[in-house]
Amino acid sequence: MRRFVSVLAAVVLLVLPAASIAGEHFDGTWHTKIVCPPKGDTQGFTWNMDSVIKDGNLRAERRTAGEPGYFLLEGKVGENGKAKLTGSGIINSRAYARGVFAHKGESYTWDVKAEFKDTEGTGLRNEGLGIVGRPCTFDFVKAPASPEQTPPAAPAAQ
């Protein structure tokens, strides 16, 4: 029994760092572009913002929380790169929002399916009802690591 516990402890110690690294594979800053095309009388728009993934959790904000025009995108990015994200915000202008209840100051929520690879990712907003919704696309491009995030290089051999 003692040997079993020792072997189990050794396996856990070997696997834990790998699990931690896998969860951090996508960590960093991602330049994010959201495009919602025009539909009917509703104007299209493009938003650019930075998302940050830390410990596998994505978060991006646009404008001031609680004010019209605010948007928050967040969710978990799996080790395989697949993500279910939620976008929520406050309508700033009826010209860019669809639906009977889409008025300035009203809140809204989007469901977004996304997939990340090493340095890029894509996503698509759930359109909801075809009459009301529209297909908004998400493009993610990983920003290069800043010098303070990059580990120092090993000294050159002499």
Tell me, yes or no, whether 14 lies in a domain. no
Tell me, yes or no, whether 7 lies in a domain. no
Q: What is the total count of domains within the chain?
A: 1
Range of the domain at 85: 26-142
Tell me, yes or no, whether 2 lies in a domain. no
Residue 146: what pLDDT? 75
Residue 145: what pLDDT? 85
Q: How many CB atoms lie within 10 A of CB 85?
A: 21
Tell me, yes or no, whether 119 lies in a domain. yes
Give me the CATH number covering residue 68: 2.40.160
Residue 151: what pLDDT? 52
Query: How far is residue 57's CA from residue 70's CA, in Å, rounded to a whole number?
Result: 20
Residue 53: what pLDDT? 98
Residue 12: what pLDDT? 40
Q: Give 10-residue mean pLDDT values along the chain (158 residues).
A: 50 42 80 95 95 98 97 98 97 86 90 97 85 86 79 52
Tell me, yes or no, whether 17 lies in a domain. no
Residue 16: what pLDDT? 42
Tell me, yes or no, whether 8 lies in a domain. no
Query: How far is residue 138's CA from residue 57's CA, in Å, rounded to a whole number?
Result: 17
* This prediction's pTM: 0.77
Q: Shortest CA distance to 71 belongs to which of 98, 52, 49, 54?
A: 49
Tell me, yes or no, whether 148 lies in a domain. no
Tell me, yes or no, whether 101 lies in a domain. yes
Query: How far is residue 112's CA from residue 76's CA, in Å, rounded to a whole number?
Result: 11
Rg (CA), the chain: 21
Amino acid letter at 66? G
Query: How far is residue 40's CA from residue 12's CA, in Å, rounded to a whole number?
Result: 57
